[in-house]
Amino acid sequence: MLTDDQIVTSQALVVATFKSFREDLLKVFGNIEYTRKGDSSPVTAWDVAVEKKLRAVLLTAFPDFGFEGEETGHTGNTTTYWLTDPIDGTSSFIRGLYYSTNMAALVHKGEVLAAVVYDFVHDAVYTAIKGKGAFKNGVQLSVNTKRRSGDLVIYVMSRKQFPLIREALQELQMRTIQTMGGAGHAYGILAEGKIDGIVNLHTTMGAYDNAPGLLIAEEAGAAVLSYDQEVGVNRHEFIVGTPFVVDEIEKSGLL
């Protein structure tokens, strides 16, 4: 049985491990060699190093847990495990753009119970535990519930469908911007009220891309409009945003 203490303690270990890499990551930020994986996405030695260290730390402290990483796959328990994207937005990391983060989510019986997104460039830690709110460096977050049509900014992760999505949302007086960098950065700024929504449709993003940030956004008050039959950690076709944004898009039937 998973306890509250295990959730809190393992989350703290994730934060500490991510923060322990900050100095090293900043030294090579924008100046690092990389290779390409089978899907042509870039990977650096630090993607692997962060993931391996986090796996070792967590499985030493919690041997009954499992671990799943983007770079090294799944180890151990498949019911309770930490899911991680060691460097989300590797392309940004390589170029020295501040859109890259470290991300992880605790999954239990298919549900995401805790999350960490660490913006190592600005030393900003976004955390959430299901039902207990979202925080940035210990300060509780909330999506912006005051903005209305004509003053709304929506990030779009769907690159191929961006023109169609932009055209549709223009009818709702919502300004659309194609995301730069990784998903973690986008979810973080949604949770703290800097943008108003994220469209994540027709992408190839995996659970490690979405699960951490999605919990943080939801715990900050964001609503989710699903476009698939998946639940919990497996959700991958959705729009997330302020309740007003999600309600307006759903009522319009434009997407």
Assign residue 228 the CATH number of its domain.
3.40.190.80
113 and 208 inside one domain: no
Instruction: Indicate the DSSP class of residue 233.
Output: G
9 and 132 inside one domain: yes
Q: Quote the domain boundaries for residue 98.
A: 4-140
CATH number at residue 90: 3.30.540.10
Q: Which structure tokens are listed for 120?
A: 């190592």
112 and 164 inside one domain: no
Report whether pLDDT(39) > 90: no
98 and 161 inside one domain: no
Position 38 scores a pLDDT of 87
118 and 223 inside one domain: no
* 116 burial level (CB within 10 Å; 0-12, 13-18, 19+): buried
Instruction: Give me the number of domains the chain comprises.
Output: 2
Of the residues 93, 120, 140, which one is the last residue of a structural domain? 140
* Residue 129 belongs to a domain: yes
d(CA 86, CA 84): 6
Q: Is 118 helix (H, G, I), strand (E, B) or coil?
A: strand
192 and 246 inside one domain: yes
The pTM for the full model equals 0.97
Q: Give CA separation, 71 vs 43, 90, 107, 147, 215, in Å.
A: 9, 12, 18, 39, 22
pLDDT tens profile 93-123 = 999 999 999 999 999 999 999 999 999 999 9
Position 1 scores a pLDDT of 84
DSSP string covering 20-83: HTHHHHHHHTT----EE-TTS-EE-HHHHHHHHHHHHHHHHH-TTSEEEETTTEEEE-SSEEEE
* Residue 145 belongs to a domain: no
* Residue 120 belongs to a domain: yes
pLDDT tens profile 134-150 = 999 999 999 999 999 99
131 and 189 inside one domain: no
74 and 178 inside one domain: no
Of the residues 140, 165, 180, which one is the last residue of a structural domain? 140
* Residue 92 belongs to a domain: yes
Instruction: Indicate the DSSP class of residue 178.
Output: E
* Residue 128 belongs to a domain: yes
- Please identify which residue in the block is written with the tokens 């961006």: 162
The four Cα atoms 95, 189, 139, 237 give a dihedral, to 10 degrees, of -110
* Residue 146 belongs to a domain: no
* Residue 15 belongs to a domain: yes
How many CB atoms lie under 10 A from the CB of residue 73?
A: 9
8 and 133 inside one domain: yes
Of the residues 112, 140, 168, which one is the last residue of a structural domain? 140
pLDDT tens profile 87-101 = 999 999 999 999 999
Region 54-65: mean pLDDT is 98
Position 159 scores a pLDDT of 87
pLDDT tens profile 204-218 = 899 999 999 999 999
* Residue 147 belongs to a domain: no
Cβ burial 235-249 (10 Å sphere, 16+ → b, else e):
bbebbbbbebbbebb
